Structure 1
Amino acid sequence: MNIFRTKSIDLLKEGAEQKGLKKTLGALDMVMLGIGCIIGTGIFVLTGVAAAKYAGPGIMLSFVLSGLTCAFAALAYAELAALVPIAGSAYTYSYASLGEIIAWMVGWNLILEYSVGSSAVAAGWSGYMVGLLKSAGIELPHAFTAVPADGGIVNLPAMVIALFLSALLVRGTKESATLNKILVFIKLAAVFIFLALAGPKVNPANWSPLMPYGFSGVAAGAAIIFFAYIGFDAVATAAEECRNPNRDLPIGIVGSLAVCTILYIAVAGVLTGVVPYQQLNNAEPVAYALRTIGYNIGSALVGTGAIAGITTVLLVLMYGQTRIFFAMSRDGLIPASICKIHPKYGTPHIITIVAGIAVALIAGFTPIGIIAELTNIGTLFAFVVAAVGVLVLRFTKPDVHRPFRCPAVTIVAPLAVLSCGYLMYNLPGETWVRFIIWSAIGLAVYFVYSYRNSALNKQKVAIEAE
């Protein structure tokens, strides 16, 4: 039993050509996908939660710490994305570098990452929508806007947005990317409105003490808000639909991360400067801050922008989720029947619908805090494996043409592993328990189904039969 068999880069590309997706995306689409996924729940929701519960004003340092961690991982990702421009992100890179069992575990945890991540974002969208409607005089029943753990029956708005975006993704990538661009511009406008209105009202006294929970609080905050940065991973999942992946993927990954890190730090600084951090643990901290300093109209504008922003995050996360499923099904690790391409729209419609229903159910009945923590650990695990993979390929495939080379890879890749590992260490113990249980289930599925049905295994059996 060879569980560490690898799939050659040429074989991966050949499979993509035989059963691939439409190439409709350019460099701007890649950057917008990244910004679309990065700026959203992290900046409009989790900033307040992490500041109030973990880091205080030191949330600014938390974003720096998370941003540096992501920068190391993003450079490794950029090299792998240009080298292996196939749908699947870290799952595909692992298959080419570290072997099938590692690839399966990465893919299995990416499924967790995107599923629960989408659900957390849908819950954040619901919070802002309910708040916006309330400010307009429309108050929805608590029973249908809160999960059972929060005293409700079901978070219905979260379920509705998840199902609506699933239907849009079935229609096609180009249409989804166009909507994403429009919403990205709206939410960037909302961020700049917030900075322009709240910036002059900053009271430096609110930043003291800077680290009320010590550096451990800053590190814990960085581990929680890491969820905010996973957008560049979603860019990598779009590799197969990119017209010029060798150039556009590195631009999309590195460019979107750089823009968003600067904006995150600015918003975190202003947010904790205008409102004491203890008051920020709510579903709409940015809009709340503007209301607190007397900008009710500005609050409504930012709330609208936040809804647009969170919508793009959800759109991109649900998109990335289906592409991971698609790549794994093409390799035979999950049933191919659920990832068939729609004859008219050119999208994996069945898995998009199934995944959309699953996201809607999780968002409708699960608290957002638990969901976000699960997303972080799956993402960090994938980043660690991708960083190891780029080093391994440098030694095992030194002569392969690399359109983009990670600078100082022997320094950057180990730093990515260490920094991601440090953030994983700072996640709550319950998150680790859930991660281990999910991984154990994944191993069982691999040995019961995936190993025997793998395309590589079937190829080996066919050769032996001859």
Structure 2
Amino acid sequence: MGMKLLQRMFKKESLANYLKTDGAFKKTLGAKDLLGLGVGAVIGAGIFILPGTVAATTAGPAVTLSFLLAAAVSALVAMAYSEVASTLPVAGSAYSYGNIIFGEVVGWILGWALILEYFLAVAAVSTGWAAYFTSLVAPVFSLPKALSGPFNPAQGTYINIIAVLIIVIVAALLSRGMKESKYFQNAMVLLKIAIIILFIVVGAFYIKQSNYQPFIPARHAGAFGWQGVLTGTSLVFFAFLGFDALSSSAAEVKNPKRNMPLGIIGTLVIAGLLYSLVALVLTGMVHYTKLNVADPVAYALNAVGQRGIFLVVSLGALVGMFTMIYTMVYASSRLVYAIGRDGLLPGNLGKLNVNGEPSRALGVATVVIATFGGLVPLERLVDLVNMGTLLAFFVVSLGVLPLRKRADLSNNGYHMPGYPILPLVSAGLSLFMISQLHSETLVVAAIWFGLGLVIYLAYGMKHSKLNMD
């Protein structure tokens, strides 16, 4: 009985079934659109904050090296994702990959982890967007206190209405279809990159060589030195996590064998370059010891008398968070669709509408995310976002090994170099990053996965479409 149950739990889904079900999606995304989605997800408001705070508290001016190292580690995972996504061009990202390569229960655990990651990430960013927007319009308009924060009657706040509205606006854009909304997304990403380049160019004129001395400060009070550079790497690594959401678009990509690797690896190159340059310019403009503030880029611009550019950078932060919300709501809807497609979630969530869009999945994702963003304070849940992604990184990296041996899969697109060593290194580094998370995060994650396993055994396995094979 126990052996039969295990065999059923590890039953694998076929790629042919997924391709048949996902065939109704319109193939509208090219390499440029994938870069738009990827850069939209990876570069948010963090580019204006992380380089300063990590320099001040952990790595000094060598935070630039921390970003380059984090980009190198992320590049390994990106290569693994590129091979798997080009071989398995289906919706659902790591959830679907787990189903095909390892079996249904592994796919479900990854899907359950990614639901938590995507939903919480979007909700957290929506509250950040609301905070930036509120401060920007404060001179001319202010909301009633009851509508300005999460549900906390003792403080007089009942809902963060701006956070809810931005999620609803993004969902309305997406409901028109990817073909129509991708142009708006791409324009927003170009505007964001232009604003970041403006800061780099303007800031470069105010760099003082003395601010780089010493480039790697001496070890002090548990920070700095080479160890500080490595600690900084683990802190800024999370700036690159968003490219996981990019692979959820594979079912809507033209020529995925070529375009998925271009989109994923291209995103990492652009993001790594921009993060490193912002860090280099920022620590050159102002001594790193002064950068442990809520908005270090604004502080640096004010310090050198460029207050006008500060307003433009605030706009850049809003645009950056908007594109991040867009990509993550998009990825959330495709994930919910993929799990519903397999019968593991109720409510016909795996159905596409007449326009080839997963409108039911988008509706459910929007309601849940808007509820989180409007009512729940999310400061303590950020680590859980990292947990979900790192678990996906670990399994996808490991998945390259059996994928190469599968005679039933056409693995003739992009190949991760250094096989089998680099996939194992990538998996090992992802596991190491998980071990660096706070212990209470690991406990909450274990409870979340335990709950997911109960739902799978009680509902998902009985209603799974794998039972029909």
Q: Return the TM-score normalized by structure 2.
A: 0.89
What are the Cα deviations for residues 279-320 of structure 1, in whole angstroms up to 9, with x where unaligned?
Answer: 545554323332232211100111112211211111001101
Moved more, 43-52 or 23-32: 43-52
Task: Tell me whether 278-287 or 263-272 shows the greater mean CA deviation.
Answer: 278-287
Asked whether the equivalents of residues 92 and 338 of structure 2 are also in contact (C-alpha less than 8 Å), the reply is: yes
Corresponding residue number in structure 1 for 2:372: 362
Q: Are the equivalent residues in 1 in contact too, given 2:45–2:318 (CA < 8 A)?
A: no
Q: 1:398 to 1:352 in 2, by over 3 A?
A: closer
Counterpart residue number, 2:300 = 289
CA distance 1:268–1:147, change in 2 (3 Å): farther
Q: Is the 8 A contact 1:144 1:152 kept in 2?
A: no
| Corresponding residue for residue 320 of structure 1 | 331
Q: Does 1:375 align with 2:385?
A: yes
Structure 2 residue identity aligned to 1:7: E
Aligned partner letter, 2:195 = A
Listed one character per residue, the Cα deviations across residues 309-332 of structure 1 (whole Å, up to 9, x for unaligned) are 211111001101111111111111
3, 17, 41: which is aligned to 1:11? Answer: 17
State the alpha-carbon separation in 2 of the partners of residues 377 and 441 from structure 1: 16
* Equivalent residue pairs, number: 455
Select which of 432, 438, 447 maps to 1:422. 432
Describe the shift of the 1:251–1:396 C-alpha distance in structure 2 as closer, same or farther (beyond 3 A): same
CA distance 1:165–1:396, shift in 2 (3 Å)? same
- Aligned twin of 1:237: 248
- Pairing of 1:91-240 with structure 2 (within 5 A): 91-134=95-138, 138=141, 144-147=147-150, 153=157, 154-207=159-212, 208=214, 210=217, 213-214=223-224, 217-240=228-251
Q: Which one of 419, 437, 449 corresponds to residue 459 of structure 2?
A: 449
Q: Greater shift after overlay, 440-449 or 58-67? A: 58-67
Contact 2:118 2:328 survives alignment (8 Å)? yes
| Structure 2 Cα separation of the partners of residues 230 and 67 of structure 1 | 10
Percent sequence identity over aligned pairs? 36
Structure 1 residue 255 corresponds to structure 2 residue 261: no
Distance in 1 (alpha carbons) for counterparts of 2:374 and 2:210: 39
Cα deviation, residue 120, structure 1: 2.1
Unaligned runs of 5+ in 2: none
1:163–1:360 contact (8 Å) kept in structure 2 = yes
CA distance in 2: counterparts of 1:278 and 1:169, whole angstroms: 43
Gaps of 5+ in 1: 460-466
The equivalences for 1:18-37 within 5 A come to: 20-37=24-41
Residues 410-450 of structure 1: per-residue CA shift (max 9 Å, x gap): 12111111111222121222221221111111111111111
Task: Tell me which moved more, 408-417 or 396-405.
Answer: 396-405
SS at match of 2:205: helix
Give the direction of change, closer, same or farther, for the CA distance of 1:159–1:402 in structure 2 (3 Å limit): same
Structure 2 contact 12–103 (Cα < 8 Å) conserved: yes
Distance 2:345 2:463 in 1: 8
Paired residue type of 2:94 = A
For the residue of structure 2 that corresponds to 1:294, the secondary structure is coil
Structure 1 residues 390, 349: closer, same or farther in 2, change over 3 A?
A: same
**CA distance in 1 between partners of 2:300 and 2:140 (Å):** 20
Q: Which residue of 1 aligns with 2:394?
A: 384
TM superposition shift of 1:44: 2.9
TM-score (norm 1): 0.90
Aligned-pair CA distance for 1:216: 5.3
Q: Could you tell which deviates more after superposition, 248-257 or 206-215?
A: 206-215
> In 1, distance between residues paired with 2:381 and 2:366?
16
Q: What letter matches 1:70 in structure 2?
A: S
Contact kept? 2:149, 2:160, Cα under 8 Å: yes
Q: Call closer, same or farther: CA 1:86–1:196 in 2, change over 3 Å.
A: same
8 Å CA contact retained: 2:91, 2:334: yes
| Structure 2: distance between partners of 1:40 and 1:163 | 19
Contact persistence 1:220–1:426 (CA under 8 A): no
Call closer, same or farther: CA 1:251–1:382 in 2, change over 3 Å. same
AA in 1 matched with 2:13? K
